[in-house]
């Protein structure tokens, strides 16, 4: 295969893209992206008939049709290949690992990522790979994580941290000869890079690095693929030359013979064992005992060691390094947020369809039982998650585009005067977005499981499996609480500009505009809630303005607290820890929510959206916003924005009303964000809504379900026990 450096200049393909975007009005293409739903009348039909809009139109509006097409195509291919079929019963942990490992091999073998993507330039290539990743994650998260760590994230990292001499590794991975793992985390520490204790000491005599693990707490740990299958690690270690430490560097370290998978002597490597989920991935640990690797295996884009042991830093082009670092740190978090948005869509697909079909209770004098979807509490439990799913989908679509554009520009060394501010802002956006989206998805999965009652506890509902697999996301690739702190640190740093009313500096600091809420902050903080009726709060203007007030208040309050502690002589580390629970964390979450609202709002303004769809989108935005506002209620009172019962009364009333307005459309909204049945794989969430038929099939297809168990004699009563 021909490997092309991703950093090659790209032609302006704007024209071409606009053309490609146009086709989605074509009926054939629309059919491909939004295949017809079952026509046989089923329990969902009635709700579908109530919808005020065409779900297919909404589907191609909520997601870039090109991205959607990549996903739909991939799903068709995975569905058609028996190798990717899901086993009926959960196999042993060992068999799960084997199955995913052979799936991964096949995934690369049959070119699910066509080789030509390598020539598309960074942005187009990565966008494509991210679509494939998210779609694969919805099919089988084990597979996507294994692929991401072992192939795609690795090769991306290789291109930005390595140089020409490492390209053979790139090719070998894409040719299924090598498989990598990323070795950062150690047993005693998470991804806190300062605490990494593995060493790589240069020996000029043999021109080798000696990789060494001082003790078990410094053992590399958790790396996916390390447990049983990887041939190499991209290992992070402290680089030493002649007793001087040059900090963390990445090394390509052979772990197992690629032809026999036998670990090399000097590497103590194994699997860390069973987990709460994702058991198809062989997370591993490794300890190195003075293990020697060639000098050339140092990834030397940022620093190198000469054959005779001189360390040389090579920061010729800081912007490129910055872009590379940015991309490496953040790509994984963007991908996780995309996957979580998928999981959130799947969760509400299952819970809403189930709620439409499941009946319970009826008003006195009525014979017909009500669908549980008709209960206001049930709506309030689920519809905000539907609104979140749609909002996140739009946000991730738009933000990913911006993010990739910025990285690409930085790679090209383009003239971007504000690249440093942009990098910092993107980092803050991602640091707020990943916690917000993964936590929202986790609670949606839990609420959906509860909303499906006992049947939601069946494995075949898929909610339990999704919850267990998704759960890892809230602490990996940057713990959510740690990331939140980074986001709030960035926001609060700008309060002084806001206080000075220095709008120009604020705009400079936030090229993407996510700090716009701080413009005229002191004026905004003087605003008071004056609404007197439900309609005063049931609109996007109220939601957006309230969020601006909220963010200004939180930023100012956090700054005040920090200043107060500083004046009292408290050091910065301790001060930040003190304010985290009640100031910094709420600020980070509110900042993330506001970003989602702003991007979603922008999307709704796209010219040409049919009015009935625009109306639905606005309701979703309002519901998502009010849901957030009621979580932050106390701040509005505490900060004097509201007094008395009015705000809380009206917002709650509005929440219930918007839910009720969305009710006739909710099944169609879910149709617009639902993945195909074969992807959702839930007997409760199928598009035909025939839950009882699917339950019947599931019960009847249990292996040997009607026979006595093979072990009957161990538990049966002794003869003559009958009464």
Catalytic residues: 477
Q: How far is the CB of 703 from a second copy (least distance, A)?
A: 9
DSSP assignment, residue 226?
Answer: T
Six-digit token string for 155: 């090769």
Angle at 463 between CA 350 and CA 79, to 5 degrees: 75
CB within 8 A of 209, min separation 6: which ones? 200, 201, 202, 203, 239, 251, 292, 293, 294, 295, 297, 298
Which CB, 166 or 675, lies closer to a second copy? 166
Q: How far is the CB of 402 from a second copy (least distance, A)?
A: 30
CA distance 444 to 350: 11
| 82 φ/ψ angles, rounded to the nearest 5 degrees | -60, -25
CB within 8 A of 327, min separation 6: which ones? 156, 160, 407
Which CB, 228 or 353, lies closer to a second copy? 228
The CA-atom distances, in angstroms, between 636 and each of 206, 518, 626, 642 are 67, 17, 13, 6
Which CB, 479 or 536, lies closer to a second copy? 479
Q: How far is the CB of 217 from a second copy (least distance, A)?
A: 6
Closest CA to 85 of 99, 64, 65: 99
| 285 φ/ψ angles, rounded to the nearest 5 degrees | -130, 160
Strand partners of residue 236: 250
185 is in an annotated binding site: yes
Which CB, 56 or 333, lies closer to a second copy? 333
Q: What is the largest CA-CA distance in the chain?
A: 93
| 326 φ/ψ angles, rounded to the nearest 5 degrees | -55, -50
CA distance 323 to 14: 22
CA distance 178 to 154: 11
Q: How far is the CB of 265 from a second copy (least distance, A)?
A: 12
Q: How far is the CB of 90 from a second copy (least distance, A)?
A: 6
Dihedral sign of CA atoms 684, 686, 690, 693 in order: negative
555 is in an annotated binding site: no
Q: How far is the CB of 344 from a second copy (least distance, A)?
A: 17
CA distance 215 to 211: 13
Q: How far is the CB of 545 from a second copy (least distance, A)?
A: 19
Cβ count within 10 A of residue 393: 22
Which CB, 105 or 246, lies closer to a second copy? 105
Which CB, 19 or 649, lies closer to a second copy? 649
Which CB, 225 or 241, lies closer to a second copy? 225
Where is the binding site for FAD, in residues? 185, 224
């Amino acid at each position: 295969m021909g490997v092309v450096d991703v950093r090659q200049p790209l032609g302006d393909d704007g024209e071409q893209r606009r053309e490609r975007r146009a086709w989605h009005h074509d009926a054939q293409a629309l059919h491909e992206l939004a295949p017809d739903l079952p026509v046989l009348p089923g329990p969902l039909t009635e709700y579908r008939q109530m919808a005020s809009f065409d779900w297919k139109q909404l589907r191609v509006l909520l997601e870039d049709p090109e991205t959607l097409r990549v996903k739909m195509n991939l799903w068709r291919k995975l569905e058609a290949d028996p190798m990717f079929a899901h086993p009926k019963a959960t196999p042993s942990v060992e068999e799960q690992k084997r199955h995913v490992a052979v799936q991964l091999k096949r995934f690369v073998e049959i070119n699910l990522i066509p080789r030509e993507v390598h020539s598309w330039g960074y942005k187009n290539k990565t966008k494509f790979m991210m679509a494939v990743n998210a779609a694969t994650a919805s099919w089988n998260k084990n597979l996507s994580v294994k692929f991401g760590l072992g192939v795609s994230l690795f090769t991306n990292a290789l291109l930005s941290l390595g140089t020409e001499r490492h390209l053979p590794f790139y090719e070998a991975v894409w040719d299924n000869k090598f498989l990598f793992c990323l070795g950062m985390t150690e047993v005693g520490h998470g991804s806190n890079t300062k605490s990494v204790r593995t060493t790589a000491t240069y020996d000029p005599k043999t021109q080798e690095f000696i990789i060494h693990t001082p003790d078990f707490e410094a053992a590399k740990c958790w790396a996916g693929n390390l447990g049983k299958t990887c041939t190499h690690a991209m290992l992070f270690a402290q680089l030493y030359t002649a007793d001087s430490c040059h900090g963390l560097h990445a090394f390509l370290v052979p772990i197992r013979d690629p032809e026999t998978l036998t670990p090399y002597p000097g590497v103590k490597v194994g699997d860390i064992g069973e987990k709460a989920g994702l058991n198809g991935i062989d997370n591993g640990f490794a300890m190195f005992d003075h293990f020697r690797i060639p000098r050339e295996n140092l990834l030397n884009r940022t620093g190198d060691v000469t054959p005779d042991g001189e360390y040389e830093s090579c920061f010729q082009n800081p912007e490129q390094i910055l872009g590379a670092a940015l991309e490496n740190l953040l790509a994984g978090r963007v991908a996780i947020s995309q996957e979580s948005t998928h999981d959130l869509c799947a969760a509400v697909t299952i819970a809403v369809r189930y709620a439409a079909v499941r009946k319970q209770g009826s008003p006195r004098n009525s014979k017909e039982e009500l669908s549980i979807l008709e209960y206001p509490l049930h709506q309030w439990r689920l519809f905000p998650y539907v609104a979140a799913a749609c909002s996140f989908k739009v946000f991730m679509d738009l933000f990913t585009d911006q993010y990739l554009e910025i990285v690409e520009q930085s790679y090209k060394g383009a003239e971007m005067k504000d690249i440093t501010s942009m990098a910092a802002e993107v980092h803050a956006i991602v640091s707020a977005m990943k916690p917000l989206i993964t936590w929202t998805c986790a609670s949606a999965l839990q609420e959906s499981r509860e909303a499906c009652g006992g049947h939601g506890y069946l494995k075949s509902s898929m909610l339990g499996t999704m919850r267990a697999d998704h759960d890892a996301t809230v602490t990996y690739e940057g713990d959510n609480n740690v990331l939140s702190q980074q986001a709030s640190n960035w926001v609060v740093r700008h309060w002084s500009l806001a206080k000075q009313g220095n709008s120009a500096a604020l705009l400079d600091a936030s090229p993407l505009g996510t700090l716009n809420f701080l413009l005229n902050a002191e004026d905004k903080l003087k605003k008071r809630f004056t609404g007197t009726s439900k309609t005063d709060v049931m609109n996007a203007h109220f939601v957006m303005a309230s969020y601006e007030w909220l963010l200004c208040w939180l930023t100012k309050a956090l700054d005040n607290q920090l200043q107060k502690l500083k004046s009292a002589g408290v050091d910065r580390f301790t001060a930040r820890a003190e304010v985290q629970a009640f100031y910094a964390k709420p600020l980070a979450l509110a900042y993330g929510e506001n970003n989602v609202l702003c991007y979603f709002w922008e999307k709704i303004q796209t010219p040409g959206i049919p009015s009935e769809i625009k109306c639905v989108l606005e309701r979703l935005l309002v519901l998502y916003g009010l849901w957030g506002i009621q979580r932050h209620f106390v701040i509005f009172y505490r900060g004097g924005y509201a007094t008395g019962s009015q705000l809380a009364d009206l917002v709650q009333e509005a929440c219930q009303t918007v839910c009720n307005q969305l009710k006739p459309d909710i099944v169609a909204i879910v149709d617009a964000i639902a993945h195909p049945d074969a992807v959702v794989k839930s007997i409760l969430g199928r598009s035909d809504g025939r839950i009882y038929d699917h339950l019947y099939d599931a019960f009847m297809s249990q292996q040997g379900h009607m026979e006595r168990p093979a072990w009957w004699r161990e538990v049966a009563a002794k003869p003559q026990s009958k009464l």
